[in-house]
Amino acid sequence: AQTVTQSQPEMSVQEAETVTLSCTYDTSESDYYLFWYKQPPSRQMILVIRQEAYKQQNATENRFSVNFQKAAKSFSLKISDSQLGDAAMYFCRYTSGTYKYIFGTGTRLKVLA
Amino acid sequence: DGGITQSPKYLFRKEGQNVTLSCEQNLNHDAMYWYRQDPGQGLRLIYYSQIVNDFQKGDIAEGYSVSREKKESFPLTVTSAQKNPTAFYLCASSIIAGGADTQYFGPGTRLTVL
C-alpha cells in the first residue's frame, strides 16, 4: 500500500530565509502525481505546487519549488524568502490514477519576524 | 466568483442523530470529494463522485452516506453509525477524477458531537 511520510511535525524559519519541508512516499506504481498543499489558520486547503512523476524537471511556482527525487521517493518543498503569510500547515499528497489520494500528516511552519 | 461553499461552518450534533453537511460548487467540475481531518493526521478520503448519480467509497466510508443528484452538489450525511464523528470535514472538487486532477477545497465544516 502507498504511504506518505512527513517526518517534521514542526519547522521554524526566520523571515526572508529559506526553509525546506520534507516528504517521502512509498509506492510500486510508476505513474503518479505529488502535491503540496498549504492550510492556513482559516483551515482552507490551498494548492501550492504539483509535480508529475514522469517529469524530471522540478516544479517551481514563484518562491516555492520542489526537489523531486523519484528513485529516492522524496518530494521536498523549498520556500525561499519566507514571509509571515507562509505560516501554516503544509501537507504533502500522493495521487495515482487508481483513485488513491493519500495525505501526509503535515508540517507546521512558523515564520519568525 | 467561482468556488466551493460548505455549510454550516460549525455544526453540533447530539449522539444518535444523523446530520447532513452541505457542499456546493459552481466550477462546473465533474468530480467531487469528501475528506475528514483529525488532529495530527492528514486528510482521509470518505467518498468521491466522478459524475452525477455515481459515487464510490473512499478509505473511511463506514458510518457516512452521500448522494450526487446534481453536478453542483455533493452532500455528506454523518449517520449515528459513525462512532467518532467529531472532526473537521472538507469538500473538494476537480475537473475530472483521476491522478492528474488538481483538487480545489471548500472552507470546511467543523462537526462536534455533544
Q: Which residue of B has its CA nearest to A103?
A: B42
C-alpha cell at B60: 473511511
Q: What is the DSSP letter of A46?
A: E
Backbone CA torsion sign across B63, B67, B71, B73: negative
Closest CA to B114 of B38, B21, B12, B10: B12
> Taking CB atoms and an 8 Å limit, are A104 and B106 in contact across chains?
no
> What pLDDT was estimated at residue A98?
64
* Terminal-residue alpha carbon distance, chain A: 41
> What pLDDT was estimated at residue B100?
72
Element counts in chain B: helices (H) and strands (E): 0, 11
pLDDT digit string, tens, across residues B45-79 = 999 999 999 999 999 999 999 999 999 999 999 99
pLDDT digit string, tens, across residues B81-90 = 888 899 999 9
Residues present in chain B in total: 114
> What pLDDT was estimated at residue A54?
87
Residue to test with chain B: of A3, A44, A48, A101, most B Cβ within 10 A: A101
CA distance A39 to A20: 17
Backbone CA torsion sign across A43, A89, A76, B60: negative
Q: Is the pLDDT of residue A99 over 90?
A: no
CA distance A34 to A51: 5
- pLDDT-wise least confident of A11-25, A96-110, B25-39: A96-110
> What pLDDT was estimated at residue B2?
67
How many C-beta atoms surround the C-beta of residue A72 within 10 A? 9
pLDDT digit string, tens, across residues A12-41 = 999 999 999 999 999 988 889 999 999 999
Q: Is the pLDDT of residue B98 over 80?
A: no
Q: Which residue of A has its CA nearest to B37?
A: A105
Closest CA to A33 of B96, B28, B100: B100
- pLDDT-wise least confident of A7-11, A100-104, B53-57: A100-104
Question: Which residues share a beta bridge with A11?
Answer: A109
Question: Which residues share a beta bridge with B90?
Answer: B35
Residue, of B68 and B13, whose pLDDT is higher: B68
| Residues of chain A with C-beta less than 8 angstroms from the C-beta of B102 | 35, 47, 50
Between A97, A105, A106, which is nearest B98 by CB? A97
Stretch A6-10: mean pLDDT, rounded? Answer: 96
C-alpha cell at B64: 457516512
Reported as a pLDDT band with limits 50, 70 and 90, residue B3 is very high
Backbone CA torsion sign across B2, B100, A66, B46: positive
> What pLDDT was estimated at residue B28?
93
How many C-beta atoms surround the C-beta of residue B7 within 10 A? 12
Reported as a pLDDT band with limits 50, 70 and 90, residue B101 is confident
Reported as a pLDDT band with limits 50, 70 and 90, residue B39 is confident
